[in-house]
Structure 1
Amino acid sequence: MPNTEKLFIWKACNNILPTTQNLFRKRIVEEPNCPICLHHVESIENAIWKCESMRDVWGLCSMKLQKRSLQNQSFRELVINLMKEVNDEVLIEMAVVAWRLWKRMNELVFQKEFTNPLIILKQTRQKLQDLRLLQSNTSISTARQVGCVEPMNQWKAPPNGHYKINWDAIIDQKKCRMGIGTIIHNWEGQVMCTMRLNKPLFLDPNLAEAYAAPHVVLLRQEIG
């Protein structure tokens, strides 16, 4: 669900939207009635769902939203039930439409403009289509990234009668130190010898590995 609609639904479920009912309780407005019908108190439920002007829009939505009735439910209870009963796409549609209806209410109050239900439906469908496209592109991008990951090189034993020496160096820039690790395997993969060194030296990884090379040679000579 988009962040804008998610935040709006959260505010609606917690009844902290500035409906005229809430504004009236705080003595900010003189009347708690709906700015559209002027007859019913503009509660959260009325502002988003119950008002006849809102029902005109919900009647154009998905079948599961068309037939939904609040009855004695709060908007919060409606959302909880929808989360249990419908799929994500219908839930997102509900959130997008609810946000558009609230936006339309504010446009009426502050700009004296009232958006036709068909325009809201068109805006909602476009938003849902954009979300599907975004999700599809994200899935493709993720699949490509996964497909481009190179598999890690697996260690292979040396030919019969031979030994393999592997070494690496790491650096700690904060402490200005480097560490060297060496391990020697035989042709059966058994560990024959290991060596570790810790020196207050190079901050460059390439120089650290170059410094490690002669120590590896000396180790090989010592074990024969």
Structure 2
Amino acid sequence: MNLLKMKIVDNPQCPLCLQENQTTEHILWECTAAIDVWGECSKKIQKSRISHKSLKELMVEMFLKLNKEEMEELEVVLWKLWRRRNEFVFKDTLTPPNFLLQSAYRSLQELRESKHGETNQPAPTNNRVEEWEAPSRDFFKIN
């Protein structure tokens, strides 16, 4: 997705590597600044360094290839990479790859703990069986 055409950026050049046009795919997957981060991720994600025409194609491939935990890792790292780009553009600060990954793994741990907390709570039960009754003649029911 070309960020210049969408009027998200004024300059087409990637602010991180200054080598390629700034597209979503480039920033999140192909930029050398992103490759440094992906090189430290799970092995299956590392081995997926092939170029893609679109982020959608990449996500489809990853969905077919990765398990649930690896997909969560991919999603959190993508989010952190986008935030890193924005912090660089708007605040002139660049988070080093190891700090970005530490932050991503902390967020991933919090996500998993929150999911785990939800599953430990018993689901509300309603043992009462209700049968549908037609409304009275002068009553209208709207769904």
**1:35 partner SS:** coil
5 Å matches for 1:1-224? 15=1, 21-23=2-4, 26=7, 29=10, 31-142=11-122, 145=123
Cα displacement string for residues 7-66 of structure 1 (whole angstroms, at most 9, x for unaligned residues): xxxxxxxx3xxxxx422564962x311001112111111110101110000111111111
Match of 1:217 in 2: none
Aligned-residue identity in percent: 33
Matched residue SS, 1:42: coil
Shift in Å, 1:98: 0.7
Give the match's secondary structure for 1:113.
Answer: coil
Given that 1:23 and 1:32 are in contact with CA atoms closer than 8 Å, whether structure 2 keeps it comes out as yes
- Structure 2's unaligned 5+ residue stretches are 129-137, 139-143
User: Residue 133 of structure 2 aligns with which residue?
Assistant: none
CA RMSD of aligned residues (A): 2.3
Higher relative contact order, structure no. (Cα contacts within 8 Å, ≥ 6 residues apart) = 2
Kindly tell me the number of residue pairs found equivalent between the two proteins: 129
Deviations 1:65-98 (A, max 9, x none): 1111232442210100111111111111111101
Which structure is higher in strand share? 1
* Mapped partners of 1:77, 1:27: distance in 2: 22
Structure 2 Cα separation of the partners of residues 36 and 95 of structure 1? 20
Distance 2:80 2:8 in 1: 27
| Cα distance in 2 for residues equivalent to 1:106 and 1:140 | 37
One-letter amino acid of the counterpart of residue 81, structure 1: E
SS for the counterpart of 2:40 is: coil
CA distance in 2, matches of 1:61, 1:28: 29
Q: Secondary structure at the match of 2:98?
A: helix
State TM-score, norm by structure 2: 0.79
Is the partner of 2:121 in helix, strand or coil? helix
